Amino acid sequence: MIIERAEVIVTSPSRNFVTLRLTTDEGLIGLGDATLNGREHSVVAYLQEHVVPLLIGMDAHRIEDTWQFLYRGAYWRRGPVTMTAISAVDVALWDLKAQAAGMPLYQLLGGASRKGLLAYGHASGNDTEELFDSIRHHLERGFRAIRVQTAVPGVRAVYGVPHDVTVSNGVRSQEYEPASRGAYPAEEDWDTRAYLRHVPTVFGAVRTEFGPELPLLHDGHHRMTPIQAASLGKSLEPYDLFWLEDCTPAENQEALRLVRQHTTTPLAIGEVFNSVWDYQGLIREQLIDYVRSSVTHTGGITHLRRILDFAAQYQVKSGMHGPTDISPVGMAAAMHLGLAIHNFGIQEFMPHSAKTNSVFAQSFTWKDGLLHPGEQPGLGVTLDVDEAGKYPYEQAYLPFNRLADGTVHDW
Ligand code: CS2
Ligand code: MG
């Protein structure tokens, strides 16, 4: 199975996506997600200029060898751009191998370990009433686990809460999408003390309204110092969170030691990580409970599986990143991997827009709160190139934060 063509396809149906498309001499087509939100063209260039020329004529069956060749052979290792580019190649090769075998990819990864993947949705609100509506809306759409984000009094724009929600017949019609199109990132504001006072009251209200059973999650989005995160974890203990995510900026692994000493609230981290080395201390010292890496940004199925196998020795589980900036191709890869591994925890699931689904045909199912990748050979995703061509790239940025005195803060 020889790679004859390798194309990098950029499309922007409702947000930007980058896809690597490999075609073999037998006419099979394999896809890999190469989307790095807000920095898309860095991965396009990495692939087009440096990787595509190496792929032509290569044996598509040699997944492990190709991974090692691209990782070690580049000399310059790790980093989001490199690891996203390697992931796209890795996933496209797994897609091809599974199609050649005539099996859905999860079968090649060891077969199904469960019926489907518990997935959580994003509920949010500017006030309690809006938040409760959003939670009910998600429960009606079948979600059995909910991430809760709310506005904070005195703060203009908060991560996870849409600014311009439209509600018709009691249903919120807009999903939260942080990246905005334009030539400059949107500026948001932040006040950690106001946030720390407010969040426990929100979880108290949610538990009173929805009872003790519903798994609830929360994303701190890298904004707290270690002692602030410790204090939040402690104040949320009565509300029994499934996890508190990214409580501190993720690059400082030692921070989690301090947080862990003070709270039993389960911790999830790693959506901005890209290699097993980012997790080494966190997993070995049992400082986290969930690995947030996506297949897309962490060197593909080959490398994320390695991280998760290491994590399994310490009872740390998967919690793969799945916002809309993970393309349908990246989501499919996550679902196949999540179905196969033993230490699956939960999958983040933000449904893609109708326009995105018109570009990417997908085989996954969503039933009884569980995702399943479907039974088509390979990943189960096809890319309609003509449809993709209708939506050219548009510059887009994630927002950034400034404190009241003008200092830039983690967003
Ligand atoms: C997030 C993301 O889903 C999450 O947990 O933290 O929404 C994140 O902000 C985006 O993926 C950034 O591109
Ligand atoms: Mg997050």
Beta carbons of 177 and 186 less than 8 angstroms apart: no
Indicate which atom in ligand 1 lies nearest the CA of residue 326.
11
Q: What does each C-alpha distance from 48 to 54, 174, 255, 300, 329 come to in angstroms?
A: 10, 35, 38, 18, 19
Residue 246 Cα: closest atom of ligand 1: 6
pLDDT of amino acid 165: 56
pLDDT classification of 250: cutoffs 50, 70, 90: confident
Question: 281 alpha carbon to ligand 1 midpoint, in Å?
Answer: 23
Looking at ligand 1, which atom is closest to the CA of residue 159? 9
List pLDDT tens digits, range 40-61: 999 999 999 999 999 999 999 9
Q: How far is the CA of 101 from the centre of ligand 1 (A)?
A: 34
Domains and CATH numbers, the chain: 3-104 (3.30.390.10), 117-375 (3.20.20.120)
Q: How far apart are CA 276 and CA 310, in angstroms?
A: 9
The residue whose CA is least distant from atom 3 of ligand 1 is: 323
- For residue range 266-294, list pLDDT tens digits in order: 999 999 999 999 999 999 999 999 999 99
Angstrom CA distances, 64 to 167, 214, 303, 370, stand at 49, 40, 10, 31
**Distance from the alpha carbon of residue 3 to the mean position of ligand 2, in angstroms:** 36
Predicted local confidence at residue 176, as pLDDT: 78
Q: Which ligand is nearest to the CA of 246?
A: 2
Q: Is pLDDT at 129 greater than 50 in this prediction?
A: yes
* Cα–Cα distance, 102 to 121 (Å, whole number): 32
Catalytic positions, please?
A: 159, 221
Q: Ligand 1 atom 9: the closest Cα is on which residue?
A: 178
Q: Is the pLDDT at 136 greater than 60, yes or no?
A: yes
Ligand 1 atom having least distance to the Cα of 245: 5
Q: Quick one: pLDDT at residue 172? A: 52
Please give the average per-residue pLDDT across 317-346, as a whole number: 98
Query: In this predicted model, what pLDDT tens digit does every residue of 138-155 receive, in sequence order?
Result: 999 999 999 999 999 999
Nearest CA to ligand 1 atom 6: 221
| 306 contacts 72 by C-beta, under 8 angstroms | no
Distance 175 CA to ligand 1 centre (A): 13
In the reported structure, the alpha carbon of residue 100 is separated from the centroid of ligand 2 by a whole-number distance in angstroms of 35
Q: At what angle do helices 328-340 and 80-101 cross, to 10 degrees?
A: 70
- Nearest-CA residue for ligand 1 atom 2 is 323
Distance (Å, whole) CA 17 – CA 396: 11
How far is residue 160's CA from residue 134's CA, in Å, rounded to a whole number? Answer: 12
CA distances from 177 to 139, 173, 194, 313, 351 (A): 20, 12, 23, 36, 12
Ligand that lies nearest to the alpha carbon of residue 124, given by its number in the listed order: 1
The alpha carbon of 271 and the centre of ligand 1 are apart by a number of angstroms equal to 8
Percent of the chain with pLDDT over 70: 97
Q: What is the mean pLDDT of the chain?
A: 96
Residues facing 351 on adjacent strands: none
Q: Which ligand is nearest to the CA of 326?
A: 1
Q: Compute the distance from residue 156 Cα to the ligand 1 centre, in Å.
A: 19
For residue 162, the model assigns a pLDDT of 86
Average pLDDT over residues 186-211: 97
Pairing status of strand 267-269 against strand 243-245: parallel
The structure tokens listed for 91 are 């996933």
The amino acid present at 166, given as its one-letter code, is T
pLDDT at 177: 83
- pLDDT for the residue 239: 98
Query: pLDDT, tens digit, for every residue of 116-126?
Result: 999 999 999 99
Task: Tell me which residue has its CA closest to atom 7 in ligand 1.
Answer: 323
pLDDT given at position 175: 65
Is the predicted pLDDT of residue 163 greater than 80, yes or no? no
pLDDT of residue 171: 44
Contacts by 340-343, CB closer than 8 A, 24 or more apart: 340/106, 340/109, 340/110, 340/111, 340/112, 340/113, 341/109, 341/110, 341/113, 341/305, 341/308, 341/309, 341/312, 342/113, 342/312, 343/308, 343/311, 343/312, 343/315, 343/316, 343/317, 343/318
Beta strand pairing call for 146-150 and 216-219: parallel
- Testing ligand 1's pocket by substitution, the residue of 158, 219, 350 carrying the most ligand atoms inside 8 A of its CB is 219
Closest C-alpha residue for ligand 1 atom 1? 323
Query: Tens of pLDDT along 164-196?
Result: 655 544 445 446 788 888 899 999 999 999 999
> What value does the mean pLDDT take over residues 320-336?
98
Q: What are the pocket residues of ligand 1 if the criterion is a CB atom closer than 6 Å to any ligand atom?
A: 37, 178, 219, 221, 271, 321, 323, 325, 348, 398
Q: Which ligand is nearest to the CA of 15?
A: 1
Ligand 1: which residue has its CA nearest to atom 4? 323
CA distance 141 to 408: 38
Q: What are phi and psi of 403, to 5 degrees?
A: -75, 175
The minimum-distance atom of ligand 1 relative to the CA of 38 is: 13
